[in-house]
Amino acid sequence: MAADPSLADVPGSRTVLATHERFVGKVWEVASDEVDLGGSGVVMRDYLRHTGAVVIVAMDARDRVYLVRQYRHPVGAECWEPPAGLLDEAVESPVDAARRELHEEADLTADTWHTLVDYYPSGGGTSEAVRVFLARGIGVVPEDERHERVAEEADMIGAWVPLDDAVEAILDGRIHASSAVVGLLAADRARRDGYASLRQADASWMRPEATRLIP
């Protein structure tokens, strides 16, 4: 059965009459926009302005995925999740950012890259858009070329986990990170269809403009 072409998000923003900058932080900002909804009137919408991010589901020849356990302060937990990072370098393509993050967080490289899935973690409150890549043909970064991890990343634990076990942990409520839930369930779905649903690494992406007030 052919896919319904009308089942797709529709791009198109509403007129912003004014923007009020509320907070400028190290990584992102908070803004309030006065938005003209036409016949529905003018509303104020507060949101977190985000650069966007990439997530890497690295899968080896034994159908294992590489996960890291990292402390996430807002939720007060060490969460199992795939390697990931911000799109905070204007000159870096998303797939190049993914390659860098895989190197830095997992000491791994990959020969083959595909777009697995795109998502908005919370479209009602943040402009963040996330692209999840499937990385295969895995190699190991030589020890003398590895990135020195600091802060929350300094004591990250990494592990190869069978994809089936990771999916079970998600459905059992033991893994909660959105990058893991979306990325690993999408990887499981792709595996089931023989990876026919994968898109090219540079596939088109309906990503909001990543505006930053500070470099």
Residue with tokens 């994968």: 198
For 166, the enclosing helix (H) or strand (E) is helix 163-171
Q: What's the CA gap between 50 and 28, in Å, rounded?
A: 6
The contacts of residue 93 (CB under 8 Å, 6+ apart) are 202
Residue tagged active-site, from 81, 148, 153, 209: 153
- Whether residue 81 contacts residue 98, with contact meaning beta carbons closer than 8 Å, is answered with no
Comparing CA positions, the residue from 117, 112, 110 lying closest to residue 197 is: 117
Measured CA to CA in angstroms, residue 87 lies from 101, 130, 154 at distances of 10, 9, 21
For 84, the enclosing helix (H) or strand (E) is strand 84-86
**Residue 66: left (phi > 0), alpha (psi -120 to 50), or beta?**
beta
How many C-beta neighbours within 10 Å does residue 36 have?
13
Has 34 been annotated as catalytic?
no
Q: Which residues are catalytic?
A: 153
